[in-house]
Chains A and B, each alone.
Chain A
């Protein structure tokens, strides 16, 4: 069978729509995971609670020690059993969030460790504490130090969205499957999806590093 690029081109409009869904899934999943991870990081550091620290550590090792596909299925099938019917899309985003949060917590831990103790002390000596101390002084520096690994994690999430095709979320991968199960040209269609995924990831990491170097110039 000969590679016929016209099948790729014919698929492009629908692949593009699928890409938008993929991007939406990734953005939402990642955004929620950053919010969740930030809350956990602040709570864990500020409360100095041992129980919290252990729970987080256990959570992270569960997430890292099991396949994401299993986590996605679990969330998808468990939620309706406990009476929560939110549909595959929301379940998928939730699964991505829960998974990614574990990694973002680790990333933020590194970023937080790079903030010198003196930064906290200066803030506290000026009367900042609690919320203001974190929001005005510590978190901005934590995130600035975490930009490269966070961008990397976002591309991980973006690629992981393909797994959501297994729980019937109609994103780029599932759209591709729908197309080639009709035209029987999986290679051409998947090549299109392949390029789409690559372009999205490439655009994200390129614009991030541009942003970063611009920032460096501004501050250096």
Chain B
């Protein structure tokens, strides 16, 4: 990529993203700027537009207004009435470098664990099988699934499926990973396994935007927490500032509702693994 090195700041630049469904405006000119290596956690009440906002970052949901740039390159934008096509080769190439992890895993049930990770590498990154398998095994090892490579996804637990989805993304050597509530669909005892993988990724310097309700995780891993409500970013800042000393009444209410009045950073009050268990 051309503008790679000098754009350390503004690695991902989302500018005045606007989105409506019918006559309901879901995002009101939301802007977010992410530096390389930064981990951002987005929190906010249900229906406030977190998923929609995240999905505009790789133009999976094309916005109605605003633009997204990754390392200076236009991912998607609405410069005029002719909106950018969602099917261009350039967009696919960009998407291949922006991983996305979904709440419902969306692993491919017709392919084995290994093939799930191999397939996009061969089809999109044009790697040969040998190389793709090598990368796949490395990615599977990273998420602790190397012993499951010949398994079918249907035989995996939710936590394993999600780790497979993460491995599928990692094998593409992403420069940015978007995650939409990666642990929300998991049984409580499976959450920590996935969060530990995410912590390791964060420690390795992966740039990530994670929509999550896991405040303990956000507080220990995020560089910045973004609080959204009703299609706007209401507050953002360092996790302890945001979670301990909320400025706005709305954020206070939200945090109270999440029942973390007794919450202290690193206290592991919500039953999540402490930071050390991740390493």
* Chain A residues proximal to chain B, CB less than 8 Å: 116, 118-119, 121-130, 132, 136-137, 140-141, 144, 218-220
Do residues B110 and A126 form an inter-chain contact, with CB atoms below 8 A? no
Q: In the complex, are the beta carbons of A132 and B155 less than 8 A apart?
A: no
- Chain B residues with Cβ under 8 A from A136's Cβ? 119, 123
> Taking the nearest CB of chain B, how far is it from the CB of A88, in angstroms?
40
Which residues does chain A contribute within 8 Å of B60, judged by CB atoms? 121, 124-125
> Which residue of chain A has its CB nearest to the CB of B151?
A219
Q: Is B154 in contact with A140, judged by CB distance below 8 angstroms?
A: no
Could you say which of A119, A127, A219 contacts B120, with CB atoms under 8 Å apart?
A127
Rounded to whole Å, the gap between the CB of B98 and the closest CB of chain A is 8
Q: List A contacts of B152 (CB < 8 A).
A: 218-219
The total number of A-B Cβ pairs within 8 Å is: 68
Within 8 A of A (CB), among B56-110: 58, 60, 87, 92-93, 95-96, 98-100, 102, 104, 106-110
A118 vs B60: C-alpha distance in the bound complex, in angstroms?
11
Residue in B92, B109, B125 whose CB lies within 8 Å of A129: B92
Q: In the complex where A144-B110, A219-B155 touch, is A126 in contact with B102 (Cβ < 8 A)?
A: no
Specify which of B104, B154, B155, B169 is in contact with A126 (CB 8 Å cutoff): B169
B124:A128 contact, CB within 8 angstroms: yes
Instruction: Say yes or no: A126-B108 contact (C-beta < 8 A), given A121-B60, A132-B123.
Output: no
List, in ascending order, chain A residues with CB within 8 A of B222's CB.
none
Given contacts A116-B106, A126-B95, 16 further A-B contacts (CB under 8 A): A116-B104, A118-B102, A121-B102, A122-B102, A124-B95, A126-B169, A126-B172, A127-B95, A127-B172, A129-B87, A130-B87, A132-B124, A136-B119, A140-B110, A218-B152, A219-B154
Q: Does B228 contact A (CB under 8 A)?
A: no
**B199 sits at the interface (CB 8 A):** no
Residues of chain B with a CB closer than 8 A to A116's CB: 104, 106
B168 beta carbon closer than 8 Å to chain A: yes
A38 to chain B, nearest CB (A): 16
Within the complex, what minimum Cβ distance (angstroms) separates A196 from chain B? 36
Tell whether, in the assembled complex, residue B110 and residue A141 are in contact, meaning their CB atoms are under 8 Å apart.
yes
